[in-house]
Amino acid sequence: MFLVSQCLVVIATFLDLASFQFKSRKLILLCLFSSVLLTAAHFFLLDKISAGLLMLIAAVRYFYCIFNRSQWAMLGFMLLSTVAVILSWQDWLSGLALLATLIQTFASFQSRDVLLRLFMVFGTALWISHNILVGSPMAVLMECLFLLSNLVGLWRFYCWPKEAKAVD
């Protein structure tokens, strides 16, 4: 099962890499929705129930955010994530996964893609820590590449155009 879980994360990694290379908030979220579904299955196969539940909730959240960004829904997803972790608590890593999820939930409901990207950086750093401690090398690689892709996207869309104008 470990090998299957790692293969699922490899596919999720490609979706993550694609996600932040789009400027469209909707395309970013659609890629994240697909990636997170695979990542949820990965965590369930590793018997990390809290993390798996958080990923399932995140998939629904990303899909919802493609069409709407109600602040009440954001609070609902945060509450649902918290309840899921309380009911499935395994150890302190469940709390770390929850904190990462709460930050990324906040990110998902930002109307500007730059804010979505910036908050995702913080949530991703926490998921990297979680995945190191869980012992899933492909999940660590996936989150590191996700972070790198996000940072490249930030640079491409928000830093590079300014530098290009300065050279002209």
pTM here? 0.84
SS (H, E, C) 142-166: HHHHHHHHHHHHHHHHHHHHHHHHH
Lowest-pLDDT choice from 22-31, 83-92, 104-113, 153-162:
153-162
pLDDT in tens, 132-157: 999 999 899 989 998 998 899 899 88
The first and second tokens of residue 88, run together, are 């499935």
C-alpha–C-alpha distance, residues 78 and 148, integer Å? 26
Nearest 5°: the CA angle 58, 82, 130 is 65
C-alpha–C-alpha distance, residues 137 and 128, integer Å? 10
Look up the domain containing 35 and give its range.
2-167
- What pLDDT was estimated at residue 163? 58
> How far apart, in Å, do the first and last CA atoms of the chain sit?
55
The DSSP result for 75-101, as a single string, is: HHHHHHHHHHHHHH--SHHHHHHHHHH
pLDDT in tens, 13-65: 899 888 877 878 889 889 989 999 999 999 999 999 999 999 999 999 989 98
- What pLDDT was estimated at residue 82? 98
**Structural domains in the chain (count):** 1
10 Å CB burial of residue 168 (0-12, 13-18, 19+) is: exposed
Do 19 and 152 meet the contact criterion of CB atoms below 8 Å apart?
no
DSSP 135: T
